[in-house]
Structure 1
Amino acid sequence: MNFWDYVSSRQDQLISDTFQHASAVFQCMVVAVVLGVGIGALTYRSDRAGRIATLATGTILTIPSYALLGLLIPVLGLGVPPTVTALVLYALLPIVRNSVVGLRGVDPALVDAARGIGMTGLARLVRVELPIAWPTILTGIRVSTQMSMGILAIAAYASGPGLGNEIFSGIASLGSANALNEVVAGTVGIVLLAFIFDAALVLLGRLTVSAGIRA
């Protein structure tokens, strides 16, 4: 069976796996963005706190994905819980680091001007600092999203959802008629999703970053 015949015969399953892969990455990224930007906002004013936050999230990223999943399975079991936990933890470093860098890069004169017109610290953060730092933060989100696409494929080891199941199934049955088709279908699907998500984030940047900042 050639590749296109295989895709046609497995269309429903491939669509289901693709949807699960996209949904899992999207939901994990939402959680990671909230946590990552929050950590960055809490630590960027202190050099020590910023270093600790970056070091802690960076240390997580050095743990091999198989090892992290292996550590999480006895605690969380198989399936979605260890997959979501691993993806969120791995996605934090680029978001935290870029949040800290972006917020520290805001012109102090703008912050002083906001303070001078009576804005509270929270108002300055939300209305002045975060919008200016957003392009840098968004770059971190794009990096984390691309990483999550690939890591989720490995989460099939823990019975996680997504296209990784096609790849693992193909590897497990190497030598059979459709083994290579399964691996290629899963890989191509992940690559296409990565392009789609990145294009969506580029569009989000165009819609949410003011022309003055882009210039």
Structure 2
Amino acid sequence: MQSLWDFISSRRRQLAIDSYLHVSAVVQCVVIATVIAVVIGILVYRSPIGSALATALASTILTIPSFALLGILIPIVGLGVPPTVISLVLYALLPIIRNTIVGLSAVDPSVTDAARGIGMSRLWVLGRVELPLAWPSILTGMRVSTQMLMGILAIAAYAKGPGLGNLIFSGLSRVGSPTAVPQALTGTVLIVILALILDGIFVLIGKLTTSRGIRA
């Protein structure tokens, strides 16, 4: 335990930087994935075949092992940020697409009919009625994707991606040395802590951006 505290105290600055890069990469990839997934969800949610196809394709991506996907991307886009971002965005799509479709499909038709009855266009109904009502479901998908990406990003160290995965990989590659276990353990624990913090932030965002009537 003493060696663990010694390692943390001697690497505070680097640990802070790696933690920031880890969270930043995950949040940015979730935002990109959300934009893509919501657009896809809007395009297909009225079509059972389209919804099933979009969900199936996103599910297929999720079944590809992260090492394999990174291995495929490295010869195409190189090492570092590009393969990391592409793989994280692809893995984040399924929960958000599925929840977008579920949220939009669950909107009461009488509500949209009433909105159209007072003169709202299709786009206004979508932006002012349907998407706000589907927002809690979309946010849940974002939470699931964020938790998933926090762990997947650690594996992206294989492609020289940013974040705490480099610390874990470095420790595992030096098994037997005095700092091997502290390195791997510190990286793992920090990922868990940061994932819990992000989940708490999503809960707070949900409370602040969802009306009381919808929450009820």
- For normalisation by structure 1, the TM-score amounts to 0.99
Matches within 5 A, 1:14-25: 14-25=15-26
Q: In structure 1, how many angstroms separate the alpha carbons of the residues matched to 2:92 and 2:70?
A: 15
Q: In structure 1, how many angstroms separate the alpha carbons of the residues matched to 2:168 and 2:174?
A: 10
Matches within 5 A, 1:82-97: 82-97=83-98
What amino acid does structure 2 have at the position aligned with 1:87? L
Give the equivalent residue in structure 1 for 2:34. Answer: 33
Deviations 1:63-94 (A, max 9, x none): 00000000000001000000000000000000
Q: In structure 1, how many angstroms separate the alpha carbons of the residues matched to 2:198 and 2:33?
A: 15
Q: In structure 2, how many angstroms separate the alpha carbons of the residues matched to 1:2 and 1:168?
A: 18
Q: In structure 2, how many angstroms separate the alpha carbons of the residues matched to 1:21 and 1:183?
A: 15
| Percentage of identical aligned residues | 63
How many residue pairs get matched? 215
Q: In structure 2, how many angstroms separate the alpha carbons of the residues matched to 1:201 and 1:41?
A: 22
Q: In structure 2, how many angstroms separate the alpha carbons of the residues matched to 1:120 and 1:53?
A: 26
CA RMSD of aligned residues (A): 0.7
Q: In structure 2, how many angstroms separate the alpha carbons of the residues matched to 1:123 and 1:23?
A: 33
Give the equivalent residue in structure 2 for 1:48. Answer: 49
Q: In structure 2, how many angstroms separate the alpha carbons of the residues matched to 1:210 and 1:159?
A: 42
Give the equivalent residue in structure 1 for 2:108. Answer: 107
Matches within 5 A, 1:69-84: 69-84=70-85
Which runs of 5 or more residues in structure 2 are unaligned? none
Q: CA deviation at 1:120?
A: 1.0
Q: In structure 1, how many angstroms separate the alpha carbons of the residues matched to 2:3 and 2:172?
A: 17
Give the equivalent residue in structure 1 for 2:127. Answer: 126
Q: CA deviation at 1:118?
A: 1.2
What amino acid does structure 1 have at the position aligned with 2:105? R
Q: CA deviation at 1:113?
A: 0.5
- For normalisation by structure 2, the TM-score amounts to 0.98
What amino acid does structure 2 have at the position aligned with 1:149? M
Give the equivalent residue in structure 2 for 1:180. Answer: 181
Q: In structure 1, how many angstroms separate the alpha carbons of the residues matched to 2:75 and 2:123?
A: 40
